[in-house]
A and B are shown apart, each in its own frame.
Chain A
Amino acid sequence: MKHLIYLLKKHKLVLLMSVILFILPFFWLNMGEMDLGGDSNRLYFYDPISNFKAFAIYSVVPSSVGIVAYNQYFIPFVLFIAFLKSIFHSPTILIAIFNGFKLAGSFIFTFLIIKELFRKEIGAKMTLAQSMAAILGAIFYTFSPSVVDNMKYALVTHNQVFLNPMTFYFLLRYLTIFSLKYVWFALLITFIFSANFSLQAPPPFFAFYPLAIIFLLTYNFFVLQKPIPWKGIIVGILFFLGLHAFHLFPVASIVFDKGSEFNTRVFEGASKVNPGLEYFNAIRGLGKVSEHILLPLENKRLSLSLIIIPVLVMLGFLTPKRKNRTLLLVSIFFFTTLFLVSANITQVGVEFYRKLFSLPGFGMFRVFFGQWQWVYTFFYVLLVGLSISYLFSKLKKKYVYIIFIFAIGSMIARSWIVFNGEIVNVFHRGSKDVKVVIRMDPNYEKILDYIKEIPNDGRVFHMPFTDYGYNIVGGANRGVYMGQSMVSFLVGKNDFAGYQNIDPFSEVFVKLVKERNYPLIKQMMSLLQIRYVLYNSDEIIYDKFFPTFPYDYTGLPSSPSVALDFVNNISGKKVYQIGHYSLLEVDKKQYLPHLYAASEMYFYNTIPKYDVQYSRALSFFPEKPLDSNSDPRIAFIDRMTCNTILPIKTCNQNNSHIDIKDIQIIYQRINPTKYKVTIKNATKPFLLVFQNSFSSHWKLYRTTPIASRNISDSYFNGGIIELMPVSHIFDKNPFETNKMKSVYGSTHVKVNGYANAWYIRPSELSGNSDHELILEMTTQKTVYYSFIVSAVSLLVFLLYGVKLLMKQKL
């Protein structure tokens, strides 16, 4: 760090430019305004602790039907933001700080890297030409599309724009002077920003670091001509694995689980139909070599200034020079990454690219021009810095200054949106000038608070309902939030905001909406455990202001009044209203709680053409007539699945009735991955349905009776009782099922196209008719063990840091 401060003091211009770049984002938003939406969300800026509680601890996603996903990578990052929020209080300031990190961090560290690469050439001193070239390169990176264009709707991994150069710089310094403190700093950064190093969102990590490490090792061997520093590498790898165990191990542990998201991602190349390759083939035409050489910004594609840097690079190559290994090495990496990011360099190149998709995991780079853009820009910038330095070294001082000022000026002019704030103050695409930046509506905060207090775990259906998975909410400043639902990611209540959320019923829903078939829509809602409808009457979020996006395909109402009519047809009484927002509850007779015993099983054959995402429920719903059965406790089972738990003769019937008259089910939520269940008066076999996304890791264990008996709600005349959920964030007894034996593993099946069910034969458990069970997502225990490994590693890591510091002082 001392070295860094020394360098910045020495390069006052760099320091001044870094300060300006850091301060700039503070002028982009007015106090109270936030830029939170996008494919992932940035709700952690608004309320990091709520986001942490709802999303980061448990391996079940709080939205939709609760698919299994490992979001623990978020923990250090979101806690770091919570720490900053406790100091600065305002989300606006937090957003500005992080945008400042992106701009200033990108600039400083690319400058330092280029400077470090020069060091080898002429010793420690840096000439004016090199200094100017390094600044030009750093500015070129900072104002490149990878940094600027991705600032709006930024994903959490966008922090890579400064993390990549920062980590690279620390590792390069380590290779240069063999000081382990640089490895320590690099590891600390990776831990705080662990979201950028996760296997859950791997492309940013795998696109940059393997190539960066190969570059560094080659640089060490080929340019520095030093031995490989095995000590640092081993220490680094061990600490990295230890510090990141809490999110790496749980994901790695399911790599061989067929059907898991990670398994699909890694091994899709080996399957008959390679989705990664198919996607690549479909979008290959979008990879443009010219665009990657000129790097135009999205809103300023045609600009004369685009040519300046490429011409300077070329002139740099025209300058006579001695053999330069660094330049050769950087050039090789530049061409490699240009090939990866553009994909369209000769037909042989394209064919080779296609072959790469047979490598395990390469499918993650299907959106090649997006995933490789950061590493490409990085190596491009190194080439820019090195090449221009040769040009400058042959020119007179005054010409260097003129070219430098002209180039910087043109880049600033081209990237003026960074200075006037239009970089984030944009309008939603497809909207009539509706701003992305919002000021939170106090009424929406109140309804979120109300939902948070609801003691049952019924799910929420949003109206308006989008074509994607976006939740759309108006702000107090007439801006609109469009991103992942606040009900899920701040409150932790599962909800359905769009077409993608209601998989496997998405296509069924579109069909039913077209027919305005309200009875069947209600039936579908009960199979998705929807208890509430959150109706938003704010005109700004409907078709009038969003005529082309994000509403069209699902065919849902396009204005507040028509939407209200729809809402009234699918729900019952209003339970809360404030401002534009109303929360309505569905008829309790129609509501199916999280756990229920099915009174009727319907058997179906999966129709191959419907056996794809979003359409699976078309195989059984609504084509299958449900006769006049008034009891909604039904379950649809695929015949092939049925054959594994019931006699073939039964499965070949249309349906089968189960007598559940006397059975009582009492359940209590301990946390999103654990439930305690009591089954009473069960003497005959029955099907216990658990309405969470199917995973073989949901397991049942026999246990002792539930202590708490505070009833939250009761359904079907006491047939199902929901107890008050446990309010602790962390499970007090996380390993209680360790010594228990799981039961009914062989009769665990998928029902209703997505949910879990166990065919329970009480006689197999014990003689009596009452059973106490724990229903648990077992991989959560891997998470707990990994937490312990990471905590111990963190402690050792911090002590090691202290030791390194003390050694330096001595």
Chain B
Amino acid sequence: MKKILGKVLHKILTSEKIEKMTSFLKENKKIVLALFVVSIFVDIFFVKSNSDIVIFSILLLYGIFIKMFQIKSRRTFLLCLALLAAMFINFLFTGPSIPTEKAAVWLVLFMALGIFQQWRENPTK
């Protein structure tokens, strides 16, 4: 089963279209990551509803980007710092409002991801 899945994944990843897309994304890494971050902040400040689909899709996408762009945990924690700032400013002005809570949830999820990432990348000695 694993073998079959691996084969299918390999086929998809090595398909021409995917390779094209990957190289396009790699060429525009900065823009892609900026758009990614902006989408999180748009969700925090402008989208009032909560959706797990959005949250987990973005997290999955970030996971792919980590692999694709070799993103280090340092960057994830920098994003966490930005989310912390957003949460705090919102908290000061609006209390634990919907945007504050959304920022807090994003912060927690990215922090957890960052710690996991750091654990994998840090040397044992």
Contacts A307-B84, A314-B77, A317-B77 given; indicate if A290 touches B104 (C-beta within 8 A). Answer: yes
CB closest residue in chain B, given A339: B108
Closest CB in chain A relative to B44 CB, distance in Å: 12
Which residues, 82 to 110 on B, are CB-close (under 8 Å) to A? 84-85, 87-88, 90-92, 95-96, 100-101, 103-105, 107-109
Closest CB in chain A relative to B114 CB, distance in Å: 6
**Interfacial chain B residues near A766, Cβ < 8 Å:** none
In the complex the two chains form, is B119's CB within 8 Å of A318's CB? no
A429 located at the interface, meaning its Cβ lies under 8 Å from any Cβ of chain B in the complex: no
**Interfacial chain B residues near A302, Cβ < 8 Å:** 91-92
Main secondary structure of the interface of B (DSSP, over half): helix
Of the candidates A301, A311, A322, A345, the one whose C-beta lies within 8 Å of that of B95 is A301
Task: Map CB proximity to A onto B62-96 as digits: 1 under 8 Å, 0 otherwise.
Answer: 00000000000110011011001101101110011
B15 located at the interface, meaning its Cβ lies under 8 Å from any Cβ of chain A in the complex: no
**Interfacial chain B residues near A328, Cβ < 8 Å:** 115, 119
Which residues, 559 to 594 on A, are CB-close (under 8 Å) to B? none
**Interfacial chain B residues near A322, Cβ < 8 Å:** 122-125
| Distance, CA A293 to CA B84, complexed state (A) | 9
Of the candidates A318, A327, A335, the one whose C-beta lies within 8 Å of that of B74 is A318
- Among the interface residues A294, A311, A315, A335, which one has the most CB atoms of the partner chain B within 10 A? A294
Which residues, 318 to 377 on A, are CB-close (under 8 Å) to B? 318, 321-324, 327-328, 331, 335, 338, 344-348
**Interfacial chain A residues near B55, Cβ < 8 Å:** 346
Main secondary structure of the interface of A (DSSP, over half): helix
Of the candidates A289, A323, A348, the one whose C-beta lies within 8 Å of that of B122 is A323
In the complex the two chains form, is B84's CB within 8 Å of A317's CB? no
**Interfacial chain A residues near B104, Cβ < 8 Å:** 288-290, 293
CB closest residue in chain B, given A316: B77
In the complex the two chains form, is B80's CB within 8 Å of A314's CB? yes
Of the candidates A304, A314, A331, A345, the one whose C-beta lies within 8 Å of that of B81 is A314
Closest CB in chain B relative to A98 CB, distance in Å: 32
Which residues, 286 to 315 on A, are CB-close (under 8 Å) to B? 288-291, 293-294, 301-302, 304, 306-307, 310-311, 314-315
In the complex the two chains form, is B87's CB within 8 Å of A293's CB? yes
Chain B: residues with Cβ within 8 Å of the partner, total of 38
In the complex the two chains form, is B81's CB within 8 Å of A290's CB? no
**Interchain Cβ contacts within 8 Å, total number:** 88
Of the candidates B105, B122, B123, the one whose C-beta lies within 8 Å of that of A345 is B105
**Interfacial chain B residues near A327, Cβ < 8 Å:** 115
Closest CB in chain B relative to A297 CB, distance in Å: 14
B22 located at the interface, meaning its Cβ lies under 8 Å from any Cβ of chain A in the complex: no
- Among the interface residues B78, B80, B84, B85, which one has the most CB atoms of the partner chain A within 10 A? B84
In the complex the two chains form, is A291's CB within 8 Å of B96's CB? yes
Closest CB in chain B relative to A678 CB, distance in Å: 65
Of the candidates A289, A318, A335, the one whose C-beta lies within 8 Å of that of B78 is A318
| Distance, CA A311 to CA B114, complexed state (A) | 15
**Interfacial chain A residues near B78, Cβ < 8 Å:** 318
| Distance, CA A388 to CA B75, complexed state (A) | 18
**Interfacial chain A residues near B77, Cβ < 8 Å:** 314, 317-318
CB closest residue in chain A, given B115: A331
Of the candidates A290, A318, A324, the one whose C-beta lies within 8 Å of that of B101 is A290
B112 located at the interface, meaning its Cβ lies under 8 Å from any Cβ of chain A in the complex: yes
Closest CB in chain A relative to B4 CB, distance in Å: 28
**Interfacial chain B residues near A344, Cβ < 8 Å:** 101, 105
Task: Map CB proximity to B onto A73-113 as digits: 1 under 8 Å, 0 otherwise.
Answer: 00000000000000000000000000000000000000000
**Interfacial chain A residues near B81, Cβ < 8 Å:** 311, 314-315, 318
Closest CB in chain B relative to A80 CB, distance in Å: 40
**Interfacial chain A residues near B108, Cβ < 8 Å:** 289, 293, 335, 338, 345
**Interfacial chain A residues near B16, Cβ < 8 Å:** none
CB closest residue in chain A, given B121: A323
| Distance, CA A338 to CA B104, complexed state (A) | 11
B39 located at the interface, meaning its Cβ lies under 8 Å from any Cβ of chain A in the complex: no
In the complex the two chains form, is A317's CB within 8 Å of B114's CB? yes
Contacts A301-B95, A323-B122, A345-B108 given; indicate if A290 touches B100 (C-beta within 8 A). Answer: yes
| Distance, CA A311 to CA B88, complexed state (A) | 10
**Interfacial chain A residues near B103, Cβ < 8 Å:** 290
B52 located at the interface, meaning its Cβ lies under 8 Å from any Cβ of chain A in the complex: yes
CB closest residue in chain A, given B92: A302
| Distance, CA A243 to CA B52, complexed state (A) | 49
In the complex the two chains form, is A347's CB within 8 Å of B80's CB? no
**Interfacial chain B residues near A331, Cβ < 8 Å:** 112, 115
| Distance, CA A293 to CA B101, complexed state (A) | 11
Which residues, 43 to 67 on B, are CB-close (under 8 Å) to A? 50-52, 55-56
**Interfacial chain B residues near A306, Cβ < 8 Å:** 88, 91
In the complex the two chains form, is B115's CB within 8 Å of A317's CB? yes
CB closest residue in chain B, given A311: B84
In the complex the two chains form, is B88's CB within 8 Å of A294's CB? yes
CB closest residue in chain A, given B59: A346
In the complex the two chains form, is B84's CB within 8 Å of A314's CB? yes
* 18 residue pairs A–B, Cβ–Cβ below 8 Å: A288-B104, A289-B101, A289-B108, A290-B100, A290-B101, A290-B104, A291-B96, A293-B108, A294-B88, A294-B91, A310-B84, A311-B84, A318-B78, A322-B122, A323-B122, A346-B55, A346-B56, A347-B51
Other than the given A291-B96, A311-B81, 7 more pairs (CB < 8 A) read A289-B105, A290-B103, A293-B104, A311-B84, A323-B119, A344-B101, A346-B109
Give the B-binding residues of A (Cβ under 8 A): 288-291, 293-294, 301-302, 304, 306-307, 310-311, 314-315, 317-318, 321-324, 327-328, 331, 335, 338, 344-348
